[in-house]
Structures are given as structure tokens and as C-alpha cells.
Amino acid sequence: MVRHIQFPSNKYLVRHLITTAPRHSYHSATYYERPGAETMDQKGYISCDFVVDIDADHIPTSCRHNHDYAICKACGAMFQGEKPLKCSECESTKFDKISWICDECLDVSKKQVFNLVENFLLKEFSIPLEDINLYFSGHRGYHVHLKTKEFLDLDQDARREISDYVTGEGFSFKIWDYRKIQNNMMGFSIEDPGWAGKIAKELYNILIQGEPRIIEVFEKPIYGKKLNAVLINNLISNRQYLINQISNKRKIWQVAGLSDKTWIRIFEILRDRIKADIDVVVSIDLHRLIRLEGSLHGKTGFKVMKIKYEDLKDFDPLKDALSFPDNQENTLDIEITAPISPKIRIGSTNYGPYNKGEKLKLPLNTALFLLCKDVAKLK
């Protein structure tokens, strides 16, 4: 990796990219007095964008079990979904990964961007929309840059606090007036600020949708352990009582058979549904490298591009971020080299799945995608 380069203007940057043609291009999210200095100490730190990375890679999606594969490096055996601890054929623990994208995982990351912007940045942090810069990463996620002065000047501890707030990490549920008073359990009011009110609202929204929804939410939580059937039934049989309590802004949520421990687990499941699923490591790093806007992502050939927030709803990465016109006549000849090349939609056409050794004439965007994914070679 070549680092510590400073360009006097955009023209020099473009010339550098044309002559070197790097597979991946990044810039620093930090502002320095001397960006070209060789060591971090010499650069003279000024400030840093607050960067939020939302990537389907960090979010559990069911589609990855269908379109991701692990290939044993020793014997070539192929495993669908998560990589196993060891190969069942030869016991090797080394694998090559084929990690794919589809509409489902791209939609999951888009939904998380809406959650972050609507429910946290605009509503709770009151950040002006014009200070929120949104980029498609070129692969399966988005970068959100906050350029508000107050955010640029934050140190690492403050960035950690904000990230923890957004992800609902690092605090005790007991600080929100959750306690036992004689036989009464004090929950939260929907009028409470911050997380307490969010939890009350989320529980209410699930309860009013009825029994099947309650079962779905608590039997298949996004993360961690599910609630057992007896406990879910306790919630269901007290459904109307809890709806009345919450809608009347009463904090007493007394349900027989639900212990403190169970309530905490219920709150955790609700928290994981409410939080913005961001990659915290990126947000707290004061020296982060971020993909360069306008460059192509080396694992897809798609454009890293700025998106207006109002255009996000209709943004289709598999169509709008293609680098070349969606032209069926402009083709490349390639050969599949991986044991499997899963199905991919490019533009409005589905391609594949393909098998090893298949020789194909494919439109440029599609061929480029397969080459960048390292599942094919030029013929």
C-alpha cells in the first residue's frame, strides 16, 4: 500500500490515478497541516470527519448462507455459508472465501442508513441535513460523513460515547428507573427521552401487532439468545395489560413469571432492533482511510459515489453505481476460475450461477464484477 501522498490539486490526483491505476483508492478522513509528511507525528493533526460505516458485512443477514462460500485451500472442497472450523474432507483450517452481494444485503445496509439518519442524527442529535454527507461504498454498504464543526473536533473518547449511544452499548438498563418496588417492575414511559422512550415505543409497536409478531421477534432475535416459549407466552397473556400501561404512560410493567433477568433479555432484543448497526471501529478512529469518491471499488468495479439523502430511497447500487453504460454489446470474454460464481443481478439482468471452466461473453459491467470478485479471468 502506498500512503502519505499529498496532491497540490485535483488535477494531480487524477493524473496519478491514471498512471498508477491502483485497485483500491483511499483518502484520509483527517485534516492535517502537512498531509504528505512521512510519519503521523509530523503531519500536524487539525481535525477529523466523524465517519460512520454501515456495511452488510457486519450485520447478520440470512442471504449470506445462500450466496457465500468457503473453499478449502488444501483440497478444494466447497462449503456453502459461513466458513467451517475445519474442512470435513481433509481437516485443513485454511479457506478462500467467496463473499457475494444481493438485493437483500444491500437493502439491509440501506435500511440501517435510514435508521441512523432519521432516528439518531436528525431527531436526537439535530444535525442539519446539509452536514450529513452520504456515499455508497462501492460494495455492500454506505459511509456517512458528519462535517458539523462540533463533530470534527471530537476526540476519540467522545466519538466512542456517541458510537456507544447509537449502538446502545456500554450502559446498564438499570439506569433507566428499572427496579422492583415491592412487586412492581418499573419499566419506561414512551415520553422518556433517549433509549428509555425508544424501548417503550418498540415494545408497544410489537405488542399491538399481535401474537404472531411477538413470537417472531422474541423467538428469532437479530443477535443472541431467543426467549423460551414459556416466557413468550407470559408476554402474550399480558399483552393487553402492557399495551394499556404503555399507552397510558404508566411505567409499572408487572408481568408474573418474568424475572429481572428475563426483562433485561427482552430489553436487549428490543435494543438490537432499534440500534443503528454501525462499525464502531471506523467511527472512533482519528486516522481512518476512506474510499475515494469517484474511484472504483476493487472488489466489484462499482463506483464509490456521493448520494443525496433524498435520492437514497430509489438508489439501486446494482444499477446506479455501474461504471460503464449498461450496454449489452460492449462485452468481455472471461473464464470462470472459482468452483462457483453465484448469481448476480447487474442492471436489470440476472447472471449465473456459473461453474468452474465456463467460458462466457458478458457485458462489461458484469465481466468486471466477476473479475474483481476474483472468480474469473480474462480470456
72 near Zn ion, rule: CB under 5 A: yes
Contact pick of 74, 208, 229, 281 for Zn ion (by CB under 5 A): 74
Taking CB under 5 A as the rule, does residue 77 contact Zn ion? Answer: yes
Cell of 328: 449489452
Q: Which stretch binds Zn ion (CB under 5 A): 91-99, 207-215, 332-340, 347-355?
A: 91-99
Give yes or no for a cis peptide into 353 (omega within 30° of 0).
Answer: yes
> How would DSSP label each residue in 132-174?
EEEEE-SSSEEEEEE--HHHHT--HHHHHHHHHHHHT-S--GG
User: Quick one: 98 or 196, whose CB is closer to Zn ion?
Assistant: 98
DSSP state for residue 186 in the 8-state scheme: B
Share of the chain residues as helix, strand and coil, in percent rounded to the nearest 5: 40, 20, 40
Binding of Zn ion by 57 (CB under 5 A): no
Q: Give min distance, CB of 298 to Zn ion, in A.
A: 20
Q: What are phi and psi of 332, to 5 degrees?
A: -130, 145
Minimum distance from residue 83 beta carbon to Zn ion (Å): 12
Decide if residue 75 touches Zn ion (CB under 5 A): yes
Taking CB under 5 A as the binding criterion, the range among 55-63, 123-131, 142-150, 334-342 that sits at the site for Zn ion is 55-63
Instruction: State which residue, 100 or 218, has the beta carbon closest to Zn ion.
Output: 100
Scanning 17-25, 77-85, 115-123, 130-138 for contacts with Zn ion by CB under 5 A, the matching segment is 77-85
- The least CB distance from residue 55 to Zn ion, in Å, is 12
- Find the angle CA(137)-CA(289)-CA(295) to the nearest 5 degrees: 45
- DSSP assignment of 209-226 equals T-HHHHHHHHHS-SSSPP
Q: How far apart are CA 148 and CA 131, in angstroms?
A: 6
- In the complex, the smallest distance separating the C-beta of residue 71 from Zn ion, rounded to whole angstroms, is 9
Minimum distance from CB of 104 to Zn ion (Å)? Answer: 5
Cα separation of 367 and 373, whole Å?
A: 10
Question: Is residue 63 at the binding interface for Zn ion, with CB under 5 A as the rule?
Answer: yes
Taking the complex as a whole, how short is the minimal distance between the CB of residue 233 and Zn ion, in angstroms? Answer: 34
Q: CB–CB of 40/285 below 8 Å?
A: no
Q: Is 89 in the site for Zn ion (CB under 5 A)?
A: yes
292 binds Zn ion (CB under 5 A): no
Question: How far is it, in rounded angstroms, from Cα 187 to Cα 218?
Answer: 18
- Taking CB under 5 A as the criterion, the residue among 29, 87, 154, 232 binding Zn ion is 87
- Asked if 110 and 315 count as a contact pair (C-beta separation under 8 A), the reply is yes
Binding residue (CB under 5 A) for Zn ion from 102, 232, 336, 370 = 102
For Zn ion, the closer of residues 102 and 132 by Cβ is 102
DSSP bridge partners of 307: 134
Q: Smaller CB distance to Zn ion: residue 165 or 302? A: 302
Residue (49 or 277) nearer to Zn ion, CB: 277
Which is closer to Zn ion, CB of 87 or CB of 269?
A: 87
* Residue of 49, 43, 47 whose CA lies nearest to 4: 43
Query: How many Cα neighbours within 13 Å face the side chain of 326?
Result: 12
* Minimum distance, C-beta of residue 91 to Zn ion, in the bound complex (Å): 7
Cβ proximity to Zn ion, 78 vs 122, nearer residue: 78
102 vs 367 by CB, closer to Zn ion: 102
Candidates 3-11, 57-65, 146-154, 173-181: pick the segment binding Zn ion (CB under 5 A): 57-65
Q: CA-CA distance, 291 to 236, in Å (whole number)?
A: 48
Stretch that binds Zn ion, among 89-97, 128-136, 156-164, 219-227 (CB under 5 A): 89-97
Tell me, rounded to whole angstroms, the distance of Cα 370 from its chain centroid: 23
In the complex, the residues that contact Zn ion under the rule CB under 5 A are 63, 72, 74-75, 77, 87, 89-90, 92, 102, 104-105
